């Protein structure tokens, strides 16, 4: 992969780049660093910081019109920080000031500077610091140019003398340059003769300052750039013209969440200067890192993550190591980072690309997503059914409920389908399947594409109906991968059907929008309308459309972060939640949060979260019952030799199995195979069986016989031993 494939996602991120005040500063003074030093009373360091940016601190502090103040983001929060006062404080409170000295060997080339005004002096000083042989010409009897008549010139004069104290430069005053022939012995010439001053044409002539329309400050500011251009010319024989200062991004602001206004402090002494410096908010964009638990947890910055994702794509384990594995698989892919980013940088999408790359290369830890991919295969295989309405080949609508809703509550899904068939004209087909989100989150793009190909084919066979979605994630996936399919939410159609409400509504509740509904205004609006119709007084969530923790399937790669995110979402609002995502419901119920699916308010109270095994059984029961009741078709789920094994699983072991994503069927198979082959350990009245299956080895300790077994322990590990 190319690095741009990753960095393109994060190029627009401006974390760590200059604040708006610095962008507005002709000298690009790093105001954040400067005020930090002032705040700490490190005046010498602050002065050095300032001097290195502005070249002549006395001149600039006295004459700069301070555009930084106009672009200070404190302006609306108590008043702009008084940077000019802090500059003066740095000059006043710093100790002995010394000129910059660079210990580098002298250079052979000679450079003439015509004009000893601020612009010429700035360029001359920069060139002299690089040890070029610099000669400055001016027709006046001394340096300073237009500043010579200024009331404070004596102070400026001292400043210039100080800055030139550590360099060698020759000054030829009272010398008017009227012809280029006077400069023939110089290798390069910088002309800064001021507004309307003399100018010469030729490759070795560079010009800047007020001669080319720059302001006084800009003329000083470009001095460093002039020295670089002259150096380039001397080394290569060519160089472009001197460009004026750019003020790009000076209007770029960042979010200042929960920042209180603080009034400007009049700088009278050192203490008040430090206090004023402390008002600087050190503006830097960290919106995503502040509010995304994943980025906050890993303390990683978007641009460095993109570089690391690229470098991981080049790593070749076990010879070379990767560095961003846990981060990559801890992202919930909820889109929150993008939603809070002023530049819409999508770190999640970049990490999904990284997951896809790792999957393709075979460096993805298979155990992270193995369970979910098997679930997807089940939902797209045995539990799947694509059927037009009975007696017709085509339909106007087809219901795509997604894999989780029916697993949670067979009755509600059947009622939803019944509601659709009664309220929609033109017949409603049924598409039981999976949208492929587990494949996307695992990075298995070919599984994803194959699934969508099968769906597209079935959809076309059904006469290209509008698909009705109950799950915002499914709807999003279709929008992204099958945009040609028209979509509508179940809730929008239910809203129009004027259904009778159940008695299980909350008097007051928060509608917890799933992260996948962030862009789906219609679905969000319909759910609110249904919840309100059902009698709930609704309050908006503290933070809308945040992931409950389920997204991206981070539960296996980062269980502690999953716990943290899901607990914090459950606790964010005191009121019970009304959700419309089966996964949100499951997550919140597991945290003890009072919570109902919107369908519970119309179709009766929801059930407790089924076990992993029960979910599969529900999916098959749903298919069997719907096929029989609506299409009069028989469906018999596949049978397995271990189906007859009856397990008695104590609740604490069941809970641990759910957390570790070990289904009863995995345990049943492990036990059955051991009983068939006798390949097991025995001791203390127990048997202990193990089975390597896909990415894990399952262990079950049990007692009993004759087809009924009491489970005493069930666990798994990913590592395997060499036989």
Partner 1 sequence: MDNIEWKCNKCDKPLKPRSTVFEYMGRSFSHEVLVCPGCGKVFIPQSLAEGRMAEVEEALEDK
Nearer to partner 1, 436 or 557 (CB): 557
Nearer to partner 1, 237 or 684 (CB): 684
Contact flag: residue 152 with partner 1 (CB under 8 A) = no
| Radius of gyration for the alpha carbons in the chain, expressed in angstroms and rounded | 36
> What element of type H or E holds 693?
strand 686-693
With beta carbons less than 8 A apart as the criterion, state whether 326 and 238 touch: no
- The CB-of-314 to partner 1 minimum distance in angstroms stands at 15
CB count within 10 Å of CB 619 equals: 26
Q: Give the footprint of partner 1 on residues 344-403 (CB under 8 A).
A: 365, 367-368
- Pick one of 112, 265, 292, 325: the residue that binds partner 1 (CB under 8 A): 325
Nearer to partner 1, 432 or 696 (CB): 696
Structure tokens at 682: 């025995």
In the sheet that holds 170-172, the strands lie side by side as: 170-172, 133-137, 110-114, 188-191, 205-207
Nearer to partner 1, 94 or 555 (CB): 555
- The CB-of-696 to partner 1 minimum distance in angstroms stands at 10
- The CB-of-564 to partner 1 minimum distance in angstroms stands at 17
Contact flag: residue 705 with partner 1 (CB under 8 A) = no
- Pick one of 107, 688, 693, 704: the residue that binds partner 1 (CB under 8 A): 688
- The CB-of-355 to partner 1 minimum distance in angstroms stands at 13
- The CB-of-566 to partner 1 minimum distance in angstroms stands at 20
Residues 486, 719: Cα–Cα separation, whole Å: 45
Contact flag: residue 670 with partner 1 (CB under 8 A) = no
The residue range among 205-213, 222-230, 317-325, 640-648 that interacts with partner 1, by the rule CB under 8 A, is 317-325
Residues 358, 308: Cα–Cα separation, whole Å: 13
696-705 and 708-717 strand pairing: antiparallel
- Pick one of 377, 686, 693, 710: the residue that binds partner 1 (CB under 8 A): 686
Nearer to partner 1, 299 or 722 (CB): 722
Residues 410, 625: Cα–Cα separation, whole Å: 9
Q: Residue 139 burial (CB < 10 Å; 0-12/13-18/19+)?
A: middle
Contact flag: residue 655 with partner 1 (CB under 8 A) = no
Contact flag: residue 482 with partner 1 (CB under 8 A) = no
Q: How far apart, in Å, do the first and last CA atoms of the chain sit?
A: 37
- Pick one of 20, 39, 61, 322: the residue that binds partner 1 (CB under 8 A): 322
Closest CA relative to residue 392, chosen from 431, 350, 429:
429
Size of the site for partner 1 (CB under 8 A): 35
Contact flag: residue 680 with partner 1 (CB under 8 A) = yes
Eight-state DSSP code of residue 545: T
Q: What are phi and psi of 206, to 5 degrees?
A: -115, 150
> What element of type H or E holds 704?
strand 696-705
- Pick one of 179, 246, 321, 703: the residue that binds partner 1 (CB under 8 A): 321
- Pick one of 139, 150, 326, 673: the residue that binds partner 1 (CB under 8 A): 326
Residues 287, 344: Cα–Cα separation, whole Å: 11
Q: Residue 621 burial (CB < 10 Å; 0-12/13-18/19+)?
A: middle
Q: Give the footprint of partner 1 on residues 514-573 (CB under 8 A).
A: 557
Q: Which residues pair with 510 in a beta bridge?
A: 539, 577
- The CB-of-662 to partner 1 minimum distance in angstroms stands at 12
Closest CA relative to residue 386, chosen from 464, 474, 479:
464
- Pick one of 497, 532, 655, 681: the residue that binds partner 1 (CB under 8 A): 681
- Pick one of 34, 441, 602, 699: the residue that binds partner 1 (CB under 8 A): 699
Contact flag: residue 720 with partner 1 (CB under 8 A) = yes
Nearer to partner 1, 335 or 552 (CB): 552
Residue written as tokens 């780049």? 17
Residues 597, 189: Cα–Cα separation, whole Å: 77
Contact flag: residue 723 with partner 1 (CB under 8 A) = yes
- The CB-of-652 to partner 1 minimum distance in angstroms stands at 13
CB count within 10 Å of CB 203 equals: 10
Closest CA relative to residue 146, chosen from 206, 196, 200:
196
The residue range among 103-111, 171-179, 530-538, 694-702 that interacts with partner 1, by the rule CB under 8 A, is 694-702
Q: Which residues in this chain contact partner 1 in the complex, by CB under 8 A?
A: 317-318, 321-322, 325-326, 365, 367-368, 557, 678-684, 686-688, 690, 697, 699, 701, 712-713, 715-723
């Amino acid at each position: 992969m190319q690095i741009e494939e990753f960095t393109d996602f994060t190029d627009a991120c401006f974390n760590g780049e200059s604040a708006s005040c610095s962008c507005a500063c002709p000298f690009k003074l790093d105001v954040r660093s400067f005020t930090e030093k002032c705040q700490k009373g490190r005046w010498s360091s602050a002065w050095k910081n300032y001097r290195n940016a502005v070249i002549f601190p006395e001149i600039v502090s006295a004459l700069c019109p301070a555009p930084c103040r106009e672009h200070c983001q404190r302006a609306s929060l108590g008043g702009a920080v008084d940077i000019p006062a802090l500059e003066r404080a740095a000059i006043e409170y710093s100790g002995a000031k010394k000129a910059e000295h660079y210990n580098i060997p002298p250079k052979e080339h000679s450079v003439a500077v015509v004009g000893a005004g601020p612009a010429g002096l700035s360029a001359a000083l920069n060139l002299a610091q690089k040890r070029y042989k610099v000669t400055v010409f001016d027709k006046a009897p001394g340096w300073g140019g237009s500043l010579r008549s200024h009331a404070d010139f004596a102070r400026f004069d001292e400043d210039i003398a100080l800055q030139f104290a550590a360099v060698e430069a020759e000054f030829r005053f009272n010398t008017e340059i009227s012809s280029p022939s006077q400069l023939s012995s110089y290798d390069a010439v910088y002309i800064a003769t001021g507004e309307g001053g003399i100018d010469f044409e030729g490759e070795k002539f560079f010009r800047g300052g007020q001669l080319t329309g720059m302001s006084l400050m800009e003329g000083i500011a470009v001095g460093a750039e002039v020295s670089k251009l002259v150096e380039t010319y001397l080394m290569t024989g060519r160089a472009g013209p001197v460009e004026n200062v750019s003020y790009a991004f000076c209007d770029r602001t960042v979010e200042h969440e929960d920042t209180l206004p603080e009034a400007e402090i009049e700088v009278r002494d050192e203490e008040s200067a430090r206090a004023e410096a402390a008002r600087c908010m050190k503006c830097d964009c960290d919106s995503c890192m502040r509010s995304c638990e994943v980025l906050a947890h890993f303390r990683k910055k978007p641009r460095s993550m993109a570089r690391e994702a690229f470098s991981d794509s080049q790593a070749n384990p076990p010879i070379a190591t990767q560095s961003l594995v846990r981060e990559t698989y801890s992202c919930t892919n909820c889109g929150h980072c993008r939603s809070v980013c002023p530049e819409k940088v999508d770190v999640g999408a970049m990490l999904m690309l990284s997951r896809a790359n790792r999957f393709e290369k075979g460096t993805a830890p298979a155990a992270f997503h193995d369970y979910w991919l098997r679930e997807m295969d089940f939902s797209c295989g045995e539990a799947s059914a694509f059927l037009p309405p009975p007696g017709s080949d085509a339909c106007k609508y087809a219901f795509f409920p997604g894999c989780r809703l029916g697993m949670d509550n067979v009755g509600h899904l059947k009622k939803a389908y019944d509601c659709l068939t009664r309220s929609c004209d033109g017949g409603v087909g049924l598409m039981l399947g999976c949208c492929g989100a587990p494949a996307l989150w695992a990075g298995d793009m070919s599984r994803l594409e194959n699934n969508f190909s099968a769906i597209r084919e079935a959809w076309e066979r059904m006469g290209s109906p509008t698909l009705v979605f109950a799950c915002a994630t499914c709807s999003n996936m279709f929008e992204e991968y099958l945009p040609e399919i028209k979509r509508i939410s179940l809730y929008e159609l239910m809203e129009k059907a004027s259904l009778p409400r159940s008695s299980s509504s909350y008097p007051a509740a928060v509608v917890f929008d799933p992260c996948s509904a962030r862009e789906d205004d219609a679905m969000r609006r319909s759910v609110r309308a249904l919840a309100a119709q059902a009698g709930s007084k609704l309050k908006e969530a503290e933070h809308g459309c945040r992931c409950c923790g389920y997204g991206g399937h981070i539960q296996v790669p980062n269980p502690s972060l999953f716990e943290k995110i899901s607990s914090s979402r459950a606790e964010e609002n005191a009121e019970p939640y009304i959700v419309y995502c089966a996964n949100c419901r499951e997550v919140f119920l597991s945290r003890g949060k009072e919570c109902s699916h919107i369908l519970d308010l119309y179709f009766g109270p929801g059930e407790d979260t089924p076990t992993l095994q029960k979910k599969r059984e529900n999916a098959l029961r749903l298919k069997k019952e719907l096929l029989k009741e609506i299409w009069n078709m028989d469906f018999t789920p596949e049978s397995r030799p271990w189906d007859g094994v009856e397990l008695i699983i104590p609740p604490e072991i069941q809970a641990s199995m759910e957390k570790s994503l070990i289904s009863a069927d995995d345990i049943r198979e492990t036990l059955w195979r051991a009983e068939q082959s006798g390949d097991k350990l025995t001791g203390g009245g127990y048997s202990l069986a193990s089975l390597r299956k896909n990415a894990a080895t399952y262990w079950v300790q049990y007692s009993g016989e004759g087809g009924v077994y009491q489970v005493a322990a069930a666990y798994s590990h990913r590592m395997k031993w060499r036989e």
